A and B are shown apart, each in its own frame.
Chain A
Amino acid sequence: MPIQILMPALSPTMTEGNLVAWLKEEGDNVVAGEVLAEIETDKATMEVEAVDEGVLGKILVPSGTEGVSVNAPIAILLEEGEDVSSIKADIQSTVSTNPKSLQMPHGENESLVKEDVLITSDTSRDDKNGLNPKNFSTSLSTSRDNGRIKASPLARRMAKHAELDLAKIVGSGPNGRIIKADIDQLLSDDKPSEAVVSKPILERPDTLSNVNYDAIPNNGMRKVIASRLSESKQTAPHFYMTVDCNIDALNLVRKELNEKVEGTKISVNDLIIRAAAIALKRVPEANASWTEDATLLYKSIDISVAVAIDGGLVTPIIKNAGAKGLQQISSEMKDLANRAREGKLLPEEYQGGTFSISNLGMYGVKEFSAVINPPQGAILAVGAGEERPIIKDGAVSAATLMTCTLSVDHRVVDGAVGARFLSVFKGLIEDPLTMLL
């Protein structure tokens, strides 16, 4: 019997992904373990390997398709002696019409908008009398049926009334079904983190309708950046503290290390990661997260480092950075950054982290304030090291200064704690030998 190849879930939270490219063509022989296709999730591109051997009989979801639901069939693998005609027609038809095309011609934007409207109505099936046969049949015919959201009728209606997006709610009922209790829970919580209130922007403002523009469909990463950072700015009360660090000594130490130790290329950023890790070890209160019930003080220091990549950014994590030496931090960072740019990070390599560093020094940015990466409690924004005049003992002299700004979630980290962290950090940066221990 032909084997359906399904869209894999690359992480527990993944509900849909983009099929970036097929590496095999229809008719190709496939052995178990061979890479068939590349799938893009929120932040990473992963390879889909064949589990069985056979002939790739039919590609159901073409390269460059966005929003493919997890577990939707993406191709049919034929076993020995089977041919394409043994594939049921219905499998082909249900799927190939489903996902939206990534390269959407401008003129098709209208249909995208319409489809979204339908999906919205899928979550609601009532009018005043509680009956609406029209919506009923509409919802059954929407392409969304493949990725059907499991929710009780009552939960659906309550979510509709509260304008909650079911797709963003984790159900606690049987098989993950969204039930009344889940909606009640969300409505009683003040934090709208999980239940992001969805007022889909279905209509473009009229003023824009005559303006020329290119509509670039939001990829998974864009959507995650948008939702997480909005959530952060809307829920975490940010405040900011800035220090100037003299990095003349740091530059000297770095130069010496790189010259004396063969094959080593420690960057300023590596030293910053190391200094931040030690500072968090000394001021553990800054390594914390807010939850409704408790402030979580992390036992491990996992530093997320923002890496710009094509079309967005990722934050690969130096795990347990407090226990790692400079050389290890340096080589791990290089590997993570390279793979991040290739989109080859594993989900666990960028999901999590307890503290973040964002360094825009290489772009010549003098200083900036970063948005906290939730649920973390703080992020350190690092500017460029540049020569500036300083006054020492009443005399003006030159020094290389680097401005660092700590953004802090005031719910977990108070001013004094943040200040202590920054002062330890500054001490380490300005006297770099102390961080080599």
Chain B
Amino acid sequence: MTTSKYDLVVIGAGPGGYVAAIRASQLGLKVAIVERESVGGVCLNWGCIPTKALLRSAEVGHLLNNLEAYGFSADNISFDIKKIVERSRKVAKQLSSGVSHLLKKNKVAVIIGSASLKKKSGDEFNIEVFQEDEKYLNLKSQNVIMATGARAKSLPNIVPDGKDIWTYKEAMIPNTLPKSILVIGSGAIGIEFASFYNDLGVDITVVEVLDRILPAEDIDISNFALKSFVKQGIKIKTSSMVKSLKTSKGKISVQIETAAGSEEVSVEKVILAVGIIGNTEDLGLENTSAEVSNGQLVVDKWGATNEPGLYGIGDLVGAPWLAHKASHEGVICVERIAGVENVHPLDTSNIPGCTYSRPQVASVGLTQKLAEDAGYKVRIGHFPFIGNGKAIALGEMDGFVKTVFDSTTGELLGAHMIGAEVTEMIQGYTVARTLETTESELLNTVFPHPTLSEMMHESVLDAFDRAIHI
């Protein structure tokens, strides 16, 4: 059996792992990356990217259904769910081979297989790589980054079977379009699937255990989103829990405990989207002094575990479960390993979050409530899509931009947006926060007219009682 020696071995080739490997190679380290499925990880193959392809199809469908508003008419509009899924898979595949190419270009050794850590010899990790349960390779390295990601969490009484009860993975590749779906969980993943299937005409019910949907967002966003989805025909039950599921003759009968009492819903499929849990198993972590707690690998702000030379990044080490967070952690971790000067830990307060439903949701920083709870005296800015020329021209008049400022220092504490294309706009506020601008610089920035981004300016103006177009 071959044994190869590396400066760094990365386990898992998702957006955390492959970015870390490329950065390490740029810094002159000899790097190998081990991946058990497909390069690109969940993000590229089963998450961010293929769902965006699906949602794009849903958006096209929505436009087609409203053609008259734009002066068009069409008959016999139809779609084929198989072709929609096919397109989504093609997009994922194209990007995955793009990442393979990038890794190759950067001279990263890509090893397909499952990796497991054995006892260390001195400072050196021994990593065994298996293919179909056959050991076929030994790797040696002083540094190992665990980037194995996470998978959908189950509930004690609801375990996905891949047939009737889906996780995101099955929900992404349906053979046929179900007539009705119950979505459990109203975070970004649940809401995106609810929005997608609803736009394709599926009867959707969303159950959320907390008192509002998109519970991580600002409460104004949650309330607006609720109204918007209800208007689109989605049934939403907040403060509710699924008590039991019974499958018979292709129908699932679901017992839901709501604030008003118990009720029964009959659906064709269930999508479980109640969060994710780290892939900590079968990695040989028990052969190290690294600690696993609550399904997460425990690391410090640099990604270091208790075991010298062993690091963890991305979903494996905890929330926020976002590809861009994993990539940044990977870069920081590698730069620390390589001894790059002036590396700063990731500022988790400045990671934007996006939900690509219709309407879209995007936010960065503190919600109004969190800011007030933290003791800030806040100034709030608010600007609706209906006041924006471009929004009206697009026919996208639902939504608003909310900004939260510290009234003492003028710091932009947070920004919260809902409506068309807000996911493309949130970076403006993120850059502003990274550069630590105050309202003064934002007020003095010229935003191009006519764009949706003008609302970002108006919202800041509004926070300082200077809004023009409202």
Contacts and interface: CB of A to CB of B under 8 A. Distances in A.
Do A and B belong to a common assembly?
yes
A131 B409 contact: no
B389 interface: no
A174 B342 contact: yes
B436 A126 contact: no
B406 to A, nearest CB: 9
Interface stretch (B9-17, B44-52, B437-445): B437-445
Interface string A149-165: 00011110110010000
Contact of A126 (B342, B411, B437, B438): B438
Contacts of A130: 410, 438-440, 443, 464
A180 interface: yes
A157 B407 CA distance: 12
Given A126-B410, A158-B409, A180-B411, A152 B443 contact: no
Contact of B410 (A154, A172, A174, A179): A154
A67 to B, nearest CB: 28
Interface string B433-470: 00111111101100000000000000000001010000
Contacts of B438: 126, 130, 153-154, 157
Contact of A161 (B342, B409, B441): B409
Contact of B409 (A125, A157, A179): A157
Contacts of B435: 152-153
A130 B440 CA distance: 5
A129 interface: yes
Interface in A163-213: 172, 174, 179-180
B408 interface: yes
A161 B410 contact: no
Contact of B440 (A126, A172, A180): A126
B437 to A, nearest CB: 5
Contact of A155 (B408, B436, B439, B440): B436
A131 B443 contact: yes
Given A126-B438, A174-B342, A154 B411 contact: yes
Nearest to A172: B344
A131 B441 contact: no
A161 B441 CA distance: 18
A430 B441 CA distance: 70
Interface centre among A126, A153, A172, A174 (most CB of B within 10 A): A153
Given A152-B437, A154-B437, A129 B464 contact: yes
A294 to B, nearest CB: 20
A152 B444 contact: no
Given A161-B409, A179-B436, A153 B441 contact: yes
Interface in B357-413: 408-411
B440 A153 contact: yes
Interface string A334-367: 0000000000000000000000000000000000
Contacts of B342: 174
A102 to B, nearest CB: 37
Nearest to A174: B342
A157 B437 CA distance: 10
A172 B435 CA distance: 13
Given A158-B409, A161-B408, A174-B342, A180 B443 contact: no
Contacts of B436: 152-155, 179-180
Interface string B12-55: 00000000000000000000000000000000000000000000
Given A126-B438, A129-B464, A174-B342, A157 B443 contact: no
Contacts of B437: 152-154
A130 B379 CA distance: 13
Contacts of A154: 409-411, 436-438
A180 B437 CA distance: 10
Nearest to B465: A129
A158 B409 CA distance: 6
B242 to A, nearest CB: 44
A186 to B, nearest CB: 14
Contacts of A155: 436
Interface string B212-230: 0000000000000000000
Interface in A103-127: 125-126
Nearest to B435: A152
Contacts of B464: 129-130
A86 B440 CA distance: 41
A299 to B, nearest CB: 25
Nearest to B466: A129
A155 B411 CA distance: 10
A180 B411 CA distance: 10
A233 to B, nearest CB: 32
A129 B344 CA distance: 33
A157 B441 CA distance: 12
A155 B344 CA distance: 18
A157 B444 contact: no
A153 B433 CA distance: 11
Contact of A131 (B344, B408, B411, B444): B444
B403 to A, nearest CB: 13
Interface of B: 342, 344, 408-411, 435-441, 443-444, 464, 466
10 contacts: A130-B440, A130-B464, A153-B436, A153-B441, A155-B436, A157-B409, A158-B409, A161-B408, A174-B342, A179-B436
- By Cβ-Cβ distance, the 8 closest A-B pairs, closest first, are A152-B436, A154-B436, A130-B440, A153-B438, A130-B439, A154-B411, A153-B437, A154-B438
Interface of A: 125-126, 129-131, 152-155, 157-158, 161, 172, 174, 179-180
Given A157-B410, A157-B438, 18 more contacts: A126-B440, A129-B466, A130-B410, A130-B440, A131-B440, A131-B444, A153-B435, A153-B436, A153-B437, A153-B440, A153-B441, A154-B409, A154-B410, A154-B436, A161-B409, A174-B342, A179-B436, A180-B411
